A and B are shown apart, each in its own frame.
Chain A
Amino acid sequence: MDIYVSRHTGKVPVMVFELHGDLGSEEPLESRAQEVFDQGARYILLDLRNVPFVSSSGMRAIHQIYMMLRDADPVDSAQAPRGIARGTYKSPHLKLLSPSKNALKALTVAGYDMFLEIHHSVNDAIDSFG
């Protein structure tokens, strides 16, 4: 998998991860996310337009990124468990852009669509952070 990372400024700085290829393992996505997190990034958009396939290993990477960003935000950490249980919560820190049909199926079966917003426009997605 190839990952291209770019920084965009909306209401807050957003790191856009443009992914190319199947997301079939935790790496290298998890490491790249950890790198930008260590450099201060707190808002990440995963661009899945060029990801034909997502396996459970790939979803584990998404889950780990979600947890990393959530744990760094005490307010989000406090609100997430109750909001997820009620079906009213979406992560303010991690969002997805245009998953393919198969990728969306995997995300839905795993229940990830319950707490991750899905956008279909880069600009709308970036503007939705913050």
Chain B
Amino acid sequence: MSSILRRYRAATLPDLNDIRNNLETDVLSLGANDDVTGDLLLAVNEAVTNVIIHGYGGAPASLSLTIEPDGGDLIVRLVDEAPAFDPTQVPPPDLTLPFEDRPLGGLGVHMMRQLSDELIYRRTTAGENELTFVKRGVLAPTTMKGGRL
């Protein structure tokens, strides 16, 4: 089964609802269940929000989402042209602090990590940020590459 590419050339915060709706449609169409879909909606929403607010300073953002099966794994790849930012390098929350005293910042990245089996960042040769969300073993055999069982 081939990948699905969605390009958003001028995304702003009000577009998040449409972006989530498209992602939900695409992920379900590849055979993911509701639970996996919910995880990805939350995680990717946080990443796209960060790109729009921090990467583009609230200005219209150019970004794309690619959704593709890889064996039984499901991959969502977010690419944007904002200045380099690697969310995987954001320190995890200090779990030794009482919950209520933990800083409110960083919660979005925490959600991205918790709701993905793997979170991978790279700066592309074209100077883009590429953030990849991996959900392991979540696709039914019929959606695997080549249709093999």
Name A residues whose Cβ lies closer than 8 Å to a Cβ of B: 22, 24-25, 53, 55-57, 59-60, 63-64, 66-67, 70, 80-81, 84-85, 101-102, 105-106, 109-111, 114-115
The secondary structure that dominates the B interface is helix
Is B92 positioned at the interface, with any CB of A under 8 Å from its CB? no
In the complex, what's the smallest C-beta–C-beta distance from A114 to chain B, in angstroms?
A: 7
A57 in contact with B100 given A101-B34, A102-B38, A105-B38 (CB within 8 Å): no
Residues in B lying within 8 Å of A, measured CB to CB: 13, 16-17, 20, 34, 38-39, 41-42, 45-46, 49, 98-101, 104, 107-108, 110-111, 114-115
Query: Do A53 and B20 touch across chains, with their CB atoms under 8 A apart?
Result: yes
CA of A59 to CA of B108, assembled, Å = 10
B99/A56 in contact, CB under 8 A: no
A85–B96 alpha-carbon span in the complex (Å): 10
Q: Which residues of A contact B111 (CB under 8 A)?
A: 56, 106, 109-110
Q: Shortest beta-carbon distance, B6 to chain A, in Å? A: 18
- Asked if B20 and A105 make an inter-chain contact with CB atoms under 8 angstroms apart, the answer reads no
Known: A109-B114, A115-B100. A56 touches B38 (CB 8 A): no
Beyond the given A56-B49, A64-B104, A102-B41, please list 4 additional residue pairs across the A-B interface where CB-CB is below 8 A: A56-B46, A81-B101, A85-B98, A110-B111
Complex contacts, B34 vs chain A, CB 8 Å: 101
